[in-house]
């Protein structure tokens, strides 16, 4: 125990073991040692075992931080801010990011902004202070985006994921929000619905704007007026979405169909519609943006605009590493829009 407690001091001694020491101990090349330490694939298991044994015996710890301070060396860190890890969509996005980062020998620093622009600003400053090599931000969509401008990032590349930020000209990966919302809404109008509710998150969130745009576009193309009293935005969680739709369903002339613009709003809508049905209310048609686990087992008929959050995270990381590894260091900002797939009447599958 005392010995253990003494170790942190010992790690800082000049006599600390080197990669060379580990290589000699393991009887492998220093390259093999660093490939094992960086988690590279394709290292023969027996070699990996010998290196790990030597690392343990010598109590060797590679000092990534020291490496990051030497000119030309990298910190090996990518800073990631997401808006709400409790939303399974963002957990999948993080998973895709981390998998690609790991393949490039990087680790991700993760922070939740909870949709709070001030917290997002702090996270970015904190990550820069930790010398991250790059940033992937799911922007919370505050009024002021100075902290995301290249000038504020000191040359650290940024990729925006899931949402763009007007005026911030950097690599961005989106899903095709407008098309998904337009086609889903068009489906409801084609079924004859004329009072279609819109449940959305904050409009300051770019996806919120784009999905409302698709909703309005479908109405315009069908020559059906949008019923403004049925448009409810600003619901950031399932509970507030449930409240919002419950209120709409209590109108004298309630909506007969609902387009919910993200999975938080869809989950709230399912609860509101199920509660209404339990009291003998008329069925309400629901079409949601984003799929989620058990969507196909929803107790109310449901269609969803599906897309691949894990792929979105992977693509965002891919764009970042193209910048970091010099494949496209000077290319202009790129916009990737991932396709959506409409999955209708999941309950009937």
The Cα 245–Cα 268 span in angstroms is: 8
Q: Does 283 bind its own copies (CB under 8 A)?
A: no
For its own copies, the binding residue among 23, 26, 28, 37 (CB under 8 A) is: 37
The Cα 131–Cα 136 span in angstroms is: 14
Q: Which is nearer to its own copies, 86 or 247 (CB)?
A: 86
> Under rule CB under 8 A, which residues in 94-123 are in contact with its own copies?
94-95, 98-99, 102, 107-112, 118-119, 121-123
Q: Which is nearer to its own copies, 149 or 204 (CB)?
A: 149
Q: Does 62 bind its own copies (CB under 8 A)?
A: yes
Q: Does 20 bind its own copies (CB under 8 A)?
A: no
Q: Does 131 bind its own copies (CB under 8 A)?
A: yes
Q: Does 41 bind its own copies (CB under 8 A)?
A: no
Task: Please choose, from the candidates 223, 231, 220, 301, the residue with its C-alpha nearest in 3D space to the C-alpha of residue 260.
Answer: 231
Q: Which is nearer to its own copies, 222 or 275 (CB)?
A: 275
Binding residues for its own copies, rule CB under 8 A, total 81
Residues whose CB is less than 8 angstroms from the CB of residue 290 and which lie 6 or more positions away in sequence, other chains included: 89, 262, 263, 266, 304, 305, 306, 307
Binding window for its own copies (CB under 8 A); candidates: 57-65, 199-207, 228-236, 320-328: 57-65
Binding window for its own copies (CB under 8 A); candidates: 199-207, 241-249, 264-272, 319-327: 264-272
> Under rule CB under 8 A, which residues in 195-234 are in contact with its own copies?
none
Q: Does 31 bind its own copies (CB under 8 A)?
A: no
Q: Does 237 bind its own copies (CB under 8 A)?
A: no
Tokens coding 240: 């507030």
Binding window for its own copies (CB under 8 A); candidates: 3-11, 20-28, 183-191, 334-342: 3-11
Closest approach of its own copies to the CB of residue 343, in Å: 16
Answer whether 47's CB lies under 8 Å from 80's CB.
no
Supply φ then ψ for residue 305, to 5 degrees: -90, 110
Closest approach of its own copies to the CB of residue 94, in Å: 6
> Under rule CB under 8 A, which residues in 241-260 are in contact with its own copies?
none
Q: Does 126 bind its own copies (CB under 8 A)?
A: yes
Answer whether 266's CB lies under 8 Å from 290's CB.
yes
For its own copies, the binding residue among 6, 247, 251, 328 (CB under 8 A) is: 6
Closest approach of its own copies to the CB of residue 156, in Å: 8
Q: Does 85 bind its own copies (CB under 8 A)?
A: yes
Closest approach of its own copies to the CB of residue 3, in Å: 8
Closest approach of its own copies to the CB of residue 220, in Å: 34
> Under rule CB under 8 A, which residues in 143-182 are in contact with its own copies?
146-147, 150-156
């Amino acid at each position: 125990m005392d010995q253990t407690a003494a170790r942190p001091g010992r790690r800082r001694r000049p006599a600390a073991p080197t990669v060379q020491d580990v290589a000699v101990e393991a009887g492998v090349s220093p390259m093999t040692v660093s490939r094992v330490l960086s988690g590279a694939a394709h290292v023969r298991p027996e070699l990996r075992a010998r290196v790990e044994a030597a690392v343990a015996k010598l109590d060797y710890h590679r000092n990534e931080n020291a490496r990051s301070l030497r000119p030309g060396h990298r910190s090996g860190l990518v800073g990631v801010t997401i808006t709400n890890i409790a939303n399974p969509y963002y957990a999948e996005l993080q998973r895709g990011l981390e998998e690609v980062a790991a393949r490039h020998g990087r680790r991700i620093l993760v922070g939740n902004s909870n949709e709070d622009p001030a917290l997002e600003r702090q996270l970015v400053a904190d990550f820069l202070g930790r010398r991250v090599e790059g940033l992937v931000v799911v922007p919370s969509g505050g009024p002021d985006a100075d902290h995301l401008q290249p000038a504020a990032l000191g040359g650290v590349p940024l990729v925006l994921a899931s949402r763009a930020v007007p005026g911030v000209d950097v690599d961005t990966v989106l899903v095709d929000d407008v098309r998904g919302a337009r086609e889903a809404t068009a489906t409801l109008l084609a079924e004859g619905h004329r009072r279609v509710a819109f449940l959305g998150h904050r409009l300051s969130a770019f996806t919120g704007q784009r999905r409302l745009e698709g909703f309005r576009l479908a109405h315009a193309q069908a020559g059906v007026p949008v019923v403004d009293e049925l448009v409810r935005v600003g619901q950031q969680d399932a509970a507030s979405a449930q409240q919002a739709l419950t209120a709409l369903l209590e109108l004298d002339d309630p909506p007969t169909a609902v387009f919910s613009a993200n999975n938080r709003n869809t989950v709230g809508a399912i609860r509101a519609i199920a509660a209404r049905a339990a009291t003998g209310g008329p069925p309400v048609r629901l079409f949601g943006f984003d799929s989620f686990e058990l969507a196909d087992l929803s107790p109310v008929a449901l269609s969803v605009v599906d897309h691949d959050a894990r792929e979105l995270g992977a693509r965002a990381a891919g764009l970042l590493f193209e910048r970091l590894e010099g494949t496209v260091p000077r290319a202009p900002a790129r916009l990737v829009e991932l396709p959506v797939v409409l999955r209708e009447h999941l309950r009937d599958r």
